[in-house]
């Protein structure tokens, strides 16, 4: 029995001395419960809305203030014309536009009825449904207040709900762009990191480096097949989404493919970077899966709106490339946006690509020379 107890103590000592084992045992569960606890939420918080108030009277101002003071919505812009609605929706920051027509307050006072429009961004069906439900509930509460304070009864503000870009609220309008983003970063980063790490682990990378090929040619030869195969994957997914789900590409196909190639290049450079800091294939797989898959699903805005998360998660999300590519691909595919609407996200991904390539070259030379 003493021998057994001594053996158990020895195992405890080995575990406590191994920092990586402690991270797996305690660090990952802690991070996961924090992420899932705050991110996986169907509550609405600080959703960006714009207002087009063509009446600009006391009633419309009261309704606008009530909506913005509820804690569920945040005013981002005051529009001047109907033409501005499509412009702000294509940027992707505004989740909904609330429109008051001409003489809204006058119509309400005369007939006891007035209609306002709630236009939501249907490219994210779950969020659009939440926004319209919350806004309608606020208007219903406002109607009760009017009934109590107005001298004439039966006063009613009627909200009309419309969905931009996805009137039927089809789920694949949200999932197809997210799946493309997830597949590309996993295939490119995971497979590239494994391929290069395998050569290092088996001791064949040094053999390749003494061959007539330059190190840059070796790396290029390793990643080129995955670049081409990933590009074929993009085309295949787009064809399937069009033929099976009826999801069109409303924007420029050439721009969409160019943005996809940039994202593939970024993912490949990230895979090379992972391979330079991994000693074994198991480490590369662990870093790629844990470090890329869960953040892409949870923190990129793929499923859960980023504005619903605490501020710290917004900061973490801002360094994740999938967050920007999802915006790009949704804007081009679903909203028909052009390069002028996605140039900021494109620039961010390009800068990330340059940083990953620079770090990969530096670490690769240090480790193999």
The C-alpha atoms of residue 164 and residue 132 are separated, in whole angstroms, by 12
pLDDT at 366: 43
Intervals of the chain under pLDDT 70 = 4, 7, 10-11, 14-15, 18-43, 149-155, 203-211, 213-218, 364-369
DSSP structural state of residue 114: E
Q: Look at strands 73-79 and 47-53 and give their pairing.
A: parallel
Q: Report CA-CA distances (Å) from 74 to 43, 71, 179.
A: 15, 8, 29
What DSSP string runs through 145-209?
A: HHHHH-SSS--EEEEEEEEES-TT--THHHHHHHHHHHHHHIIIIIHHHHHHHHHHHHT-HHHHH
Question: Token pair for residue 68?
Answer: 């913005």
pLDDT digits (tens, 9 = 90+) for 84-95: 888 888 887 788
The C-alpha atoms of residue 96 and residue 205 are separated, in whole angstroms, by 54
Residue 50, beta-bridge partner list? 77, 97
Domains and CATH numbers, the chain: 2-39 (no CATH), 47-164 (3.40.1710.10), 172-368 (no CATH)
Q: Report CA-CA distances (Å) from 367 to 206, 214, 223.
A: 11, 16, 19
Question: Token pair for residue 260?
Answer: 């996809």
Backbone angles phi, psi at 94, to 5 degrees: -90, 125
Q: Which residues contact 57 (CB under 8 A, 6 or more apart)?
A: 104, 105, 106
Question: Token pair for residue 139?
Answer: 């208007």
Contact 266, 349 (CB under 8 A): yes
Closest listed residue to residue 215, CA positions, set 34, 361, 343, 35: 361
Q: What is the pTM for the complete model shown?
A: 0.78
Q: Report CA-CA distances (Å) from 101 to 21, 49, 115.
A: 62, 17, 8
């Amino acid at each position: 029995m003493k021998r057994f107890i001594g053996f158990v103590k020895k195992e405890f000592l080995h575990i406590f001395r191994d920092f990586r084992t402690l991270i797996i045992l305690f660090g990952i569960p802690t991070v996961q419960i924090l992420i899932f606890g705050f991110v996986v939420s169907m509550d609405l918080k600080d959703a960006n809305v714009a207002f087009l108030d063509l009446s600009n009277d006391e009633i419309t101002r009261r309704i606008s203030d009530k909506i913005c003071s509820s804690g569920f919505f945040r005013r981002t812009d005051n529009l001047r014309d109907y033409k501005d609605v499509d412009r702000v929706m294509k940027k992707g920051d505004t989740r909904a536009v609330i429109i008051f027509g001409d003489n809204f307050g006058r119509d309400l006072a005369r007939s006891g009825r007035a209609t306002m429009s709630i236009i939501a961004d249907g490219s994210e069906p779950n969020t659009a449904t939440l926004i319209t439900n919350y806004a309608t509930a606020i208007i219903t509460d406002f109607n009760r207040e009017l009934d109590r304070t107005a001298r004439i009864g039966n006063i009613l503000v009627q909200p009309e709900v419309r969905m931009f870009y996805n009137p039927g609220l089809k789920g694949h309008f949200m999932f197809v762009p997210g799946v493309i983003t997830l597949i590309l970063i996993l295939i490119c980063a995971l497979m590239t990191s494994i391929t290069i790490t395998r050569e290092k682990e088996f001791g064949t990378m040094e053999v390749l480096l003494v061959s007539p090929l330059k190190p840059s040619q070796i790396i290029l030869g390793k990643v080129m097949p995955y670049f081409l195969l990933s590009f074929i994957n993009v085309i295949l997914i787009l064809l399937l989404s069009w033929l099976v789900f009826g999801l069109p590409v409303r924007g420029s196909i050439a721009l969409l493919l160019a943005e996809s190639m940039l994202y593939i290049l970024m993912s490949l450079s990230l895979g090379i970077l992972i391979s330079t800091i991994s000693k074994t294939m198991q480490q590369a797989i662990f870093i790629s899966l844990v470090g890329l898959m869960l953040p892409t699903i949870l923190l990129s805005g793929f499923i859960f709106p980023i504005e619903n998360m605490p501020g710290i998660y917004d900061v973490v999300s801002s360094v994740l490339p999938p967050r920007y590519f999802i915006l790009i691909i949704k804007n081009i595919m679903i909203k028909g946006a052009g390069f002028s609407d996605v140039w900021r996200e494109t620039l961010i991904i390009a800068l990330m690509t340059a940083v990953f390539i620079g770090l990969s070259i530096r670490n690769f030379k240090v480790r193999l020379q």
